[in-house]
Structure 1
């Protein structure tokens, strides 16, 4: 079967802690990343956790872009899923810069349908 979408998991390390703890900065970076990727933004929702950390998602017509940050570890986990023509590399480059990451690891998956594991 032809893949129905691409799912990219990215982890950013060595980030600026203050950037990861600031809800407005995280939200702005995520919206900028979605726009830079060519995605069509539908809506977004973000939440700041006490004492720190931000989780949020940008819902795009092509699927979603989500994040959770751990400022105390200078770490952010990003989940980018698209079943359309979106330049995920360009979007993730925006986040890498916005968080001043010193490292980045990615895992790419083709979706639809996954192979199941037999017991």
Structure 2
């Protein structure tokens, strides 16, 4: 994919997930496992995991730091709601990270927003496995929202 008229080209794909009616949102160990499974499923390299739980039964906020970017989560167990991001570049497939997250949290309803993230053409993509001068694969969501 080439740079557009503004000098930008996609650097990676960012999925924004909203889960409603989800379970396990106060289980810090389960969230850790889910983020690790998601990173592995999409072909990413996990560099570090940081999670924080608010109070004994409170929500969890955290990030799986990836060589290819990140997967993050913020939970509100009292509302059954979780907000997650999956942002990856290079050869990773962010869609493959969704299934382990859905399996772990079993949301009654979910929405996914896909954003093609960009960089100016004169900025390098250090840390990504696909240089910006190579065309990334077009990303077409294949989710079944039923």
- Give the counterpart of 1:35 among 36, 40, 54: 40
The aligned residue for residue 23 of structure 1 is 28
1:75-114 mapped onto 2 (5 Å cutoff): 75-113=81-119
Q: Secondary structure at the match of 1:20?
A: coil
- Aligned partners of 2:85, 2:66: CA distance in 1, in Å? 13
Asked if 1:4 is matched to 2:11, the reply is: yes
Secondary structure, in 3 states, of the residue corresponding to 1:90? helix
Q: CA deviation at 1:59?
A: 0.7
TM-score of the superposed pair, with normalisation by structure 2: 0.73
Choose the corresponding residue for 2:78, options 43, 68, 72.
72
CA RMSD of aligned residues (A): 1.4
Say which SS state the counterpart of residue 26 (structure 1) adopts.
helix
Number of aligned residues: 112
Distance 2:53 2:103 in 1: 21
Specify the structure having the higher radius of gyration (Cα). Answer: 2
Normalized against structure 1, the TM-score is what?
Answer: 0.88
Bigger share in helix:
1
After TM superposition, the runs of 4+ consecutive aligned structure 1 residues lying more than 2 A away are none
Give, in angstroms, the shift of residue 113 of structure 1.
Answer: 4.2
